[in-house]
Amino acid sequence: MSTLLDLTPAAASEELARWLGARGQPAYRLTQLVPRLWQRPVATWAEATDLPQDLRRALDADWPLPRLELETSQESRDGTRKFLWRLPDGEAVESVLIPEGSRRTLCISSQAGCPLRCAFCATGTMGLLRNLEPWEIAGQVRELLLAPEPVKPTNVVFMGMGEPLLNWPAVDTALTLLNDPAALGIGARHVTVSTVGILPALAKLAKRPEQFRLAISLHAPTSATRLSLMPIEKRYRLPDVLKAIKAFKRRVTFEYVLISGVNDRDEDLAALARIAKDAGALVNLLPLHPGGAPGLVPAPGKRLAWFAGALRRRGVEAVARRSRGLDIAAACGQLRVARGEVGGEVPPDPDRHVHETAGIGELPDPADA
């Protein structure tokens, strides 16, 4: 499907300018059309009542605006809201809206499913189904603006289904759509890309001029332990990932899900402190979401708090988070898995697309990272 929503605002403006010119429309129409894509979105061009009816009909015929269909939504007692979106081809992805004071953080997906098969992630059980297009990624925000009670997220985190850096071309465009004032206009410091560390795309992200935030899904301080949890360690080794993040001029966050007896030992603490200090990273400690990790045991809450305190005593800024949305299966992938929509195969080439998520914890403000 060819859609203006897959284009950056600059590229969409060029397409529309040519289209309008071919129809003898005045140039000022462009300033009426472009804002209806993202700034003040419409579900269909028919809703843009400031335009002539004939023009609206032509736009709907030549440039229809695709939608994500809300199949189901759930709201937790703590205010966390989860959405299952049905895509035009029948696949489904999830996003989660997490309110925290004045912040509204939306956790978005970049792929349908995930081939990483990280030991603690529900999404990995379904394998990779396909990449999302730019409009399907940024559209998770757009749909909230089109809702009967519109909500605009203040923060966006790529911590949903899929590995964003293995869908880099689409994510690259989606980052522009999220940030560009002519589109959704969310500040770059309020957009966080979470990745296991896909080195080729990590280098491309580092070259972008905007100060998008980077979170590394670490989960272990050594290659050996990380490999037991995350098969991608075979392809992109931890020492190489740590070297690559030095190209980022902004502070990096390490995501670390604390798993009892696996990565919460005293020796893990010492090793994590060393690499976090060397990287100048914030460590975001997350409790293991119980529904997303069969066979693994969450570290007790007291251990989580102690672990965070011990890191701080070693000169590392660390934050212990609490689980959110436990009563609505808010770990990414759990809602779809619970509905029986699992399957898909891991592609033989691990370069093709990968990611994991740990489940939804209380997320930090990316502006503080």
CATH number, domain of 13, equals: 1.10.150
Same-domain status, 292 and 350: yes
Q: Which pLDDT value is given to residue 346?
A: 30
Same-domain status, 190 and 220: yes
Which of residues 12, 43, 62 is at a domain's end? 62
Same-domain status, 12 and 139: no
Same-domain status, 202 and 337: yes
Q: Which residues are catalytic?
A: 94, 332
The whole-angstrom separation of Cα 160 and Cα 171 is 13
Same-domain status, 86 and 158: yes
Phi-psi region of 205 (alpha: psi -120 to 50; beta: other; left: phi over 0): alpha
Q: Which pLDDT value is given to residue 324?
A: 56
Helix (H, G, I), strand (E, B) or coil at 68: coil
Q: Which pLDDT value is given to residue 290?
A: 65
Same-domain status, 42 and 157: no
Helices assigned H by DSSP within 74-231: 134-146, 168-179, 199-207, 223-229
Q: Which pLDDT value is given to residue 293?
A: 65
* Residue 298 DSSP code: B
Same-domain status, 154 and 82: yes
Please report how the helices 134-146 and 168-179 are oriented relative to each other, as an axis angle in degrees rounded to 10.
30
Same-domain status, 230 and 324: yes
The range of the structural domain enclosing residue 32 comes to 4-62
CATH number of residue 156's parent domain? 3.20.20.70
What residues of the chain score a pLDDT lower than 70? 1, 290-294, 322-369
Q: Which pLDDT value is given to residue 117?
A: 86
Same-domain status, 99 and 150: yes
Q: Which pLDDT value is given to residue 339?
A: 46
Helix (H) or strand (E) holding 128: strand 127-131
284-297 per-position pLDDT tens digit? 999 987 655 668 89
Which of residues 41, 62, 83 is at a domain's end? 62
Q: Which pLDDT value is given to residue 360?
A: 39
The whole-angstrom separation of Cα 92 and Cα 337 is 11
* Start-to-end CA span in the chain (Å): 38
336-365 per-position pLDDT tens digit? 444 444 333 333 332 222 233 333 344 444
Q: Which pLDDT value is given to residue 193?
A: 98
Domain count, the chain: 2
Same-domain status, 340 and 209: yes
DSSP-assigned beta bridge partners for residue 259: 298
Same-domain status, 259 and 345: yes
Which tokens go with 352?
Answer: 């093709």
How many Cα atoms within 13 Å fall on the side-chain side of residue 12? 27
Same-domain status, 128 and 107: yes
- Cα torsion through 298, 279, 95, 339, rounded to 10: -40
Helix (H, G, I), strand (E, B) or coil at 320: strand
pTM of the model: 0.88
Q: Which pLDDT value is given to residue 342?
A: 39
Which of residues 35, 62, 89 is at a domain's end? 62
